[in-house]
Chains A and B, each alone.
Chain A
């Protein structure tokens, strides 16, 4: 289903993805510190989460700016140094709170859809 918002066509899933995706990034780096390409791969492999891989990069920039992740440059065995992302305590809090919200949201939507 598509609807018009502000003169352009938007897919409701695109909107939903945008809001959810940054928390998925936080969840990926909570498991282990990762560099950008690994994060992109982890999200792509989950299927259906990422349509354009490049859009993860602005999102990472925003998470850095907001202090939800921090980064460390490390040498890599192949190629140039890589920037590794780690979850900060603010990021951990944001993720915990999202997990609660998401669970309630998911259950509510499921309940309505199944009715």
Chain B
């Protein structure tokens, strides 16, 4: 059997098992395994099928390796260990971000809207379950929505005065 194929197959399994890891760590782990296999082959001085199979065997299964990554090990915050992306913090943050919009129609709605939005984003970043990528996307979406409302209502507010915009119905 082609030994390159054995290694490629192993790395593909690793990549699949590492799908939940942050992108940079996934790539780094893959490179570390490649370097390890390379170094082990140099050490062995051979690269026949038996040698390659033994090297991969000693490395252990890709699933076992990925299970040792910080994200998937039980850590002091037991919440992370459950593996779910939704804990109290994440739900509270989305509730705040979502409810900020109906809150516009309450007394002091503008302040509630801004305050709840900011609090929601802050909670998002405090999350131990979400990846940085997920947090960034949430932040960008929230900022874009808030920006859009400002852009849409600001000219109306200027020309029509307080009665014309949803922001102002709150006063």
Residue A90 lies at the interface, judged by CB distance under 8 Å to chain B: no
B37-66 interface code vs A (CB 8 A; 1 in, 0 out) = 011101100000000000000111110111
| In the complex, chain B residues whose CB is within 8 Å of the CB of A78 | 42
**CB–CB B60/A65 < 8 A:** no
**CB–CB A61/B69 < 8 A:** yes
- A contact patch SS: helix
**CB–CB B69/A58 < 8 A:** yes
**CB–CB B70/A58 < 8 A:** yes
Most chain A beta carbons < 10 A, residue from B25, B43, B60, B62: B60
**CB–CB B39/A55 < 8 A:** no
A-B contact count (CB 8 A): 59
CB distance from A37 to the nearest CB of B (A): 4
**CB–CB B36/A36 < 8 A:** yes
Residue B32 lies at the interface, judged by CB distance under 8 Å to chain A: yes
Q: Which of the candidate stretches A46-54, A94-102, A107-115 sits at the interface with the other chain?
A: A46-54
**CB–CB B60/A59 < 8 A:** no
| In the complex, chain B residues whose CB is within 8 Å of the CB of A62 | 70
| In the complex, chain B residues whose CB is within 8 Å of the CB of A29 | none
**CB–CB A55/B42 < 8 A:** no
Residue in chain A with minimal CB distance to B56: A54
Chain B: interface residue total (CB-CB under 8 A): 24
| In the complex, chain B residues whose CB is within 8 Å of the CB of A26 | none
**CB–CB B29/A36 < 8 A:** no
| In the complex, chain A residues whose CB is within 8 Å of the CB of B62 | 54
Residue A87 lies at the interface, judged by CB distance under 8 Å to chain B: no
A56-83 interface code vs B (CB 8 A; 1 in, 0 out) = 0111011001000000000000111010
30 A-B pairs with CB atoms under 8 Å apart are A36-B32, A36-B35, A36-B36, A37-B35, A37-B40, A40-B36, A44-B58, A51-B60, A52-B60, A52-B61, A52-B64, A53-B58, A53-B59, A53-B60, A54-B62, A54-B64, A55-B60, A55-B64, A55-B65, A57-B29, A57-B32, A57-B36, A57-B68, A58-B29, A58-B65, A58-B68, A58-B69, A59-B68, A79-B42, A82-B35
Interface residues of A (CB under 8 A from B): 36-37, 40-41, 44, 51-55, 57-59, 61-62, 65, 78-80, 82
